[in-house]
Each structure stands twice: as structure tokens, then as C-alpha cells.
Structure 1
């Protein structure tokens, strides 16, 4: 029999997936089962439906958080994200929870305390956005205009900003800084700012970073959109899409007003808004963008 220390991260994720119903209830006790999924409001554990964890079949253990820009992963990633652990600590916790190592696997913090902590830092994105500059003559403009062959929106240019040194946590949870294109999220019902989508760029603007943290969101992504057309322009019709780059491309084809929902989950959950007679949904197959 192999020692627990010899198991790979993938094998540990598979063992967690084999007990995913039990694991989901342990990590996200405020959630509930809906058919073949465990549902809750966020990885902080609040009640709701934005997080879905597959409980059966080949996808058992795979989860998505649609309150962000569709963050997702396997069962080991779920442990890491819910408990806020680095990958090594998540592996050790999982081995204890599976009974493969001695020691206690601690329960996650109660949802109320985690939510309160999140609320205290809920406006950190505002400070970051206020410290940015126009994308004109920056590598953000290079990325959009030269690399992606897109044209920034004229009247709404200020929803897109540039940060020369923008923080993020990499896959190993280490803090690092990169230039970034920031897109302002606003509430789809009120038009009030609600968060940011961060697109991290290569130093020369030749592309964005192509890793799992290459695009992230800060603040509240659920029920929000990047409004490439003014909120007040949403009268007769509206075009919605998933990604920022797709939205800018749609503008060049005279499909304004255009809003970018930031993820497939938000696109699917887009509500019926009063006053809109025609809603156009761009649902093309997602490409590497």
C-alpha cells in the first residue's frame, strides 16, 4: 500500500472527489443539494446559488463560482479556496480529512465571520481603481488596439483604465505585480460601480498573461457588468456578452449598447430588465481570448 506522502495532488483530488457529497457539506454547510450539485452563495459559505459543485459522474468534485469571473477547479482546489490555504497546506489538510494522516482537519470559519471579513475589504477595489490612469498611450492600449485589433469605446473610455503595477496572487499564493487593464463593473439594475475585472498583461502589451489568474475580479461580479455603453442608453435594446474583448468587437459591428457580463454564469443568469424590448446575447463558442 502506498504511503500517503507518495500521493500526487491529482490523486488526492480524486480521493476527495469520491467523497464529494460529504466534503461539500463539511466545507460549505450553509449550502444545499440541487439535483446533482451542491449549491451555495459563495466560497465564503453564504446561502445562495452562485457556487455549484458537481456531486456525481465524471465531473464529481469539479466546481465553479459564478459570483466571480467563473472561478473553478477540482476538489483539492475547493479545499484550498474555501479554507484559504496554500497548496501544500491544502494537501496536508486533505490527507487528515481523508484519514490518511494523523491529526484533525479543522472546520472552515463560520460563514458570518468570513462574510464580515470580506465586507471589511469589499471596497479595496475602489482605491485600486482611483490610482489608475487612462489607457491612452499605455501597453493596455497596445494590447487592445495592436494585439487584439480592437477599438476602445469612445464615450465610455473611462470604464477602462491602466495600472502599471497591479497586485495579484499567483498559483502558489505568492504576491506579485504586473501591468493590468482594469475594467469597471457596475450594477446592472442601478448602474452604480460594484467592482473590477483585472486583465493582467505582459510587459510589452503583446498579450495578456495566459494562466489561471490572468483574469480576475475584485468586488462584486454577480449581477454586474462592464458597461461599454452608458447605462442610460439601455432603452430599447441591449447586447450582452461574456468577455471584455468580445464586447469591444461587438461595438465595432454597431451592436451598441453593449455590456460584458464577465463570465458564462453571469451571462446565463442575466435577468429580464424593464424597458428593454430586445436583448441580443452573444453566445459564440469561447475561444482563447
Structure 2
């Protein structure tokens, strides 16, 4: 008999990926026990275990929202959900996945498990994962249906309190801009979780360019005052939220000098992405020739999917070097010691030509620049 064929590098990578997935599934099975170990300063908040500034780090204990049970999210690092094994590497093992696997095996008691015992543990995890994926798919479908309901029952932006908010509170002259963005609407009765009731909101549709349906709705809650002023909702944190599966999607705002629909972007066009709606519209006021969109959250910059090769301008705020937002754009090291490539590198990897545009240094962001509000 000849020797057994040697494993290739691809074989080893596949086996390690399978092992990581199995261990993550087993960690998910014990997430209620694991969460306080990963975030010992945390507290239980509904179906999540939260810690950090304003609950910026979270572990899902029970599915029902955008992420499934066991998902770890650091909202200061862009809000991308990660597996429990990743959380072990990030929070306990200084970013080392090898050490995370060893630690997890010890935690799960499977470092000495062999044969039928290990196979049974794997089978149970697979069954739980299949059930969890089915529940998550049903929840995602429900969220998408709710998002479309909010959007399709909203009123046009023109003449609405949402337009008054943009013009009065944000200095965005929509008439001078020459357009009332079709992706922005207004509803007086959007449910606000923070206030436990229905309140006015500017609602915006998010699209993955090239796909036929909106996939999520962005809500900016507003206060409509008796004197006619419209401002951001007071005491609502966060004042903005997205319902639906938003990664990779944008809120189309203006068409620039090309004037064509967003689905008809030409290869090589310049596309400007701002973090928020107000920032994106502020840039459009300053640079009316640019095609502008908003991405919703800083962590979504690098995930945006453009249907053709483009010149991409990231209209970013003047965040401090090394801050979570700065690292999300330019790359660097997270507070947990993990190195991330940043949005610029991620978009360049997709083939786009990328540059950033900052407002002058004395202004915090593009909307402050538009309104002439300098930093103190």
C-alpha cells in the first residue's frame, strides 16, 4: 500500500474553517454562560448582554433582531456582527485565533473528547444551528416586510416636517440643491423603541445598487415644535436607526452632473459617499456635480457594493487619528489589539479608485462646514 496523500494547504485551511465553525456553534449553545466571561463588566439588557460606553459592545443571547444568537458586535468598530469564537480571540486572546480555539476547547471540555462523543456534540450543534438559521431567516423576512410597510406608507419629502428639519436645523436648501431626493420621505407615526410610542421621523430607503428592491429603512426621529421648528428628537439614543439588512447598501441622495438614475451608473463615474444623510446632502450643496449617497454608519463605507468600477470619494468627518471612526476608514489597530484594513483598502480591493474628502480642520463635519459652525 502506498502512503496516504499529503494534505494540501487548501485542505488545512478548509479543516481549520470547519473546526472554527463547529466550535463557534458549540460556544453559541453556551452563550449565556460565556457572555459574562467575555464582557465581565456587562449587564443583561433584554435579549442582549451589553457593556462598554453606552452599551457599545453586545452579545446576542436570543435571536429576534438583525443578528442571530451568539453574535458579538462592537458598535464603535462599525457594528459588524462576529462569531463567538471571534469574540474570544478579540476579548480574551489578544486577537489570536489559534489561542482562541485552544481556550474554547478547554471551556467546552472537548480538548480530550474523541469519537462518538465529539460526533454527537457536533450533530447537536448542527441541529441547533439549522433551527437558529431558520428562525433568523423568518425574522429577517419580517423586518424587511415591516421596513417596506414604513416606507410605502410615508409621504413625499417636499413640504413635510422632514424637509423643514433639513432646511431649518441643518441649513440644507433643497430648492437650491434642485431636488427633493426620492429616497427620503416623512411619516408622523413611526414606532420609536426609546420612547415606547409612535413619533415623527424622516424615513429613508436603503438599496444595494443593482438589486430591484429596497432592503431596509433608515429612521431619523424628529421633534415638531409648536413654533414650527423641527429638530432632532431630544432624549432619543440613538436618534437614528436602521430596520432591515443594511450592510453594503446606500441611501441615494443626488445624481450629480450625470443626472442618470443610480441603477444606471456608468463605469468610471465619481460617486461620493457620506456617513449620514445630513453629511451627504451637505457635500452635495458644496459639490453639486458629484453623485452623492449616505451609507448610514461608518462601518458600512467599506461594505458598499457598486455595480460597476467607480471613482469613490469618502466624505468623512474630522475624527481624531486613532479613534474608532478613523480606524474604520483608514485602518489600524482596534482597542482590542486587532488590526483592521479600513474602508479605503476594502473598496480598493474591489477595484475602485478611492480618496477621502475632509472639511476644513476647524469644522467637525461637513454639515458644520455648510452652516459655518466652527469647533470651540
Query: Is TM > 0.5 for Structure 1 vs Structure 2?
Result: yes
Considering fraction of residues, name the structure with more helix. 2
Counterparts of residues 252-263 of structure 1 (less than 5 Å): 252-255=285-288, 256-263=290-297
Is the aligned partner of 1:192 residue 2:194?
no
Question: Which SS does the other structure have where 1:202 is aligned?
Answer: strand
Is the aligned partner of 1:135 residue 2:149?
no
Is the aligned partner of 1:250 residue 2:283?
yes
Is the aligned partner of 1:240 residue 2:273?
yes
How many angstroms does 1:122 deviate by?
A: 2.2
Q: Distance in 1 between matches of 2:304 and 2:58?
A: 21
Aligned residues of 1:233 and 1:257 also touching (Cα < 8 A): no
Aligned to 1:274: 308
Question: Which SS does the other structure have where 1:118 is aligned?
Answer: helix
Could you say what the CA RMSD is over the residues aligned between the two structures, in angstroms?
3.9
Aligned residues of 2:78 and 2:297 also touching (Cα < 8 A): no
Aligned residues of 2:157 and 2:184 also touching (Cα < 8 A): yes
Aligned to 1:167: 191
**TM-score normalised according to structure 1 size:** 0.61
Q: Which runs of 5+ in 1 are unaligned?
A: 1-15, 29-36, 55-61, 68-106
Greater relative contact order (Cα 8 A, min sep 6): structure 1 or 2?
Answer: 1
Q: Distance in 2 between matches of 1:253 and 1:182?
A: 24
Q: Distance in 2 between matches of 1:213 and 1:198?
A: 10
Aligned to 2:37: 19
How far does the alpha carbon of each residue in 1:15-42 deviate from its partner, in whole angstroms, 9 at most, with x for none?
A: x987117999xx99xxxxxxxx999995
How many angstroms does 1:272 deviate by?
A: 6.4
How many angstroms does 1:271 deviate by?
A: 4.8
How many angstroms does 1:201 deviate by?
A: 0.2
**TM-score normalised according to structure 2 size:** 0.48
Q: Which runs of 5+ in 2 are unaligned?
A: 1-33, 49-56, 82-127, 255-260, 320-363, 368-376
Aligned residues of 1:234 and 1:257 also touching (Cα < 8 A): no
Q: Number of residues paired by the alignment?
A: 211
Aligned to 2:170: 148
Aligned to 1:203: 224
How many angstroms does 1:217 deviate by?
A: 0.7
* Cα 1:22–1:145 shift into 2, 3 Å: closer
How far does the alpha carbon of each residue in 1:195-245 deviate from its partner, in whole angstroms, 9 at most, with x for none?
A: 111000012343112432311111221111001133146321111110000
